[in-house]
Structure 1
Amino acid sequence: MAGSNLNQMLYYISGGQRSGKSRYAQELALQLSSSPVYLATSRAWDDDHRQRIARHVADRDARWTTMEEEKHLSRLDLTGRTVVVDCVTLWLTNFFTDTEYQVNQALALAQQEFDLLLQQDCTLLFISNEIGMGLHAPTEAGRKFTDLQGWMNQYIAARADKAIFMVSGLPLTIK
């Protein structure tokens, strides 16, 4: 389970691209808190990505506090907050590229950071992609990242209090 803190809760929300993960997580966060946090983990890789980030920020109303952190989520004080972490895939990409595609090193760093974050007394809603359910990645880096993503997803899901798999916009509770 998420940890020994009585008020802490860990939700794991996964699914494919455009499965409704973010919408579901945001709706759930607003049910849990009148002032949730949206924690964005993405780097702005190019202009298209910057526009996508701006669109996501514009989609949220004044109830939300937006925070950005590429890797070191535990450095933020999230005590007592309800936090949507969007998303594990982009967060892992930062570790993966910074370790020059070293899967084991990236996984160890991400797990260490995740464990540090779980020490905070907050409610976390982690959004992640299930990228291993599609076509086999054609590149070595793609195959390595798919493995990294799958292992980290298992790591988070094993610790989650609740796990939801999104299919075509519909939530399927798996834990």
Structure 2
Amino acid sequence: MIIYISGGVRSGKSRYAMKLALEKSSDPVYVATAKIWDEDFGKRVARHQQERGPEWSLFESEQALHLLPLAGRTAVIDCVTLWLTNLFMTHDQDIDRSLAVFKTEIDAIAKLQGTFIIISNELGMGIHPETEVGRKFTDLQGWANQYVANVAEEAIFMVSGLPLILKK
């Protein structure tokens, strides 16, 4: 089962996803897709780490998440935006190739037994990117979000810490 949670930056996505995971499992998994690019981002990662208790298992993977031992588990995958960034850079900013690889990953995860809470950012609701690469990535993010939302059994949009149920 896939539960998709999207929203803006600091909308409460991760906190809500972790709460949901703990309601479903006493030993959830947190899948971190981030590559730490700079000190500021490192601090954001540390904040997320401090929010998790000892009941959480951690897997860190920038790609090929379907190969992780997630079957039968409840896992929070945080987040699509960073996962896509890794794919986008690996595939030389090729939107079509990055999206195809991402869809294959989502399809493989959807076939696993378990509950997978997938978090993503809604980039298209923000400022229009000034650069071509920024516009390409925003398009990629939008198409990826649509794909996960379509595959998911549940979809939730977070605004100001409040969940809006889009699909149940």
What TM-score do the two structures reach when normalised by structure 2? Answer: 0.96
Return the offset for 1:48.
2.7
Cα distance in 2 for residues equivalent to 1:123 and 1:21: 16
2:52 is aligned with 1:60: yes
Flag structure 2 segments of 5+ consecutive residues without an equivalent: none
The answer for the alignment partner of 1:44 in structure 2 is 36
Alignment of 1:80-159 (within 5 A): 80-159=72-151
Flag structure 1 segments of 5+ consecutive residues without an equivalent: 1-8
SS in 1 for 2:111: coil
Task: State the AA in 2 paired with 1:136.
Answer: H
Return the offset for 1:52.
2.4
Q: Can you list the C-alpha shifts for 1:111-131, whole angstroms capped at 9, x where unaligned?
A: 111112222111000000000
Cα distance in 2 for residues equivalent to 1:103 and 1:166: 26
Cα distance in 2 for residues equivalent to 1:137 and 1:48: 21
> Which stretch shows the higher mean deviation, 114-123 or 36-45?
114-123
Return the offset for 1:46.
2.2
Please identify runs of 4+ aligned residues in structure 1 that moved more than 4 A.
none
The answer for the alignment partner of 2:21 in structure 1 is 29
Aligned equivalent of 2:64, options 54, 61, 72: 72
Return the offset for 1:45.
1.4
Q: Can you list the C-alpha shifts for 1:45-98, whole angstroms capped at 9, x where unaligned?
A: 123323322232122111111110101101111121100000000000000111
Task: State the AA in 2 paired with 1:86.
Answer: D
Q: CA RMSD in A?
A: 1.0
Cα distance in 2 for residues equivalent to 1:116 and 1:149: 19
Cα distance in 2 for residues equivalent to 1:102 and 1:80: 33
What TM-score do the two structures reach when normalised by structure 1? Answer: 0.92
The answer for the alignment partner of 2:160 in structure 1 is 168
Cα distance in 2 for residues equivalent to 1:24 and 1:47: 25
Alignment of 1:9-28 (within 5 A): 9-28=1-20
How many pairs were matched up?
Answer: 167
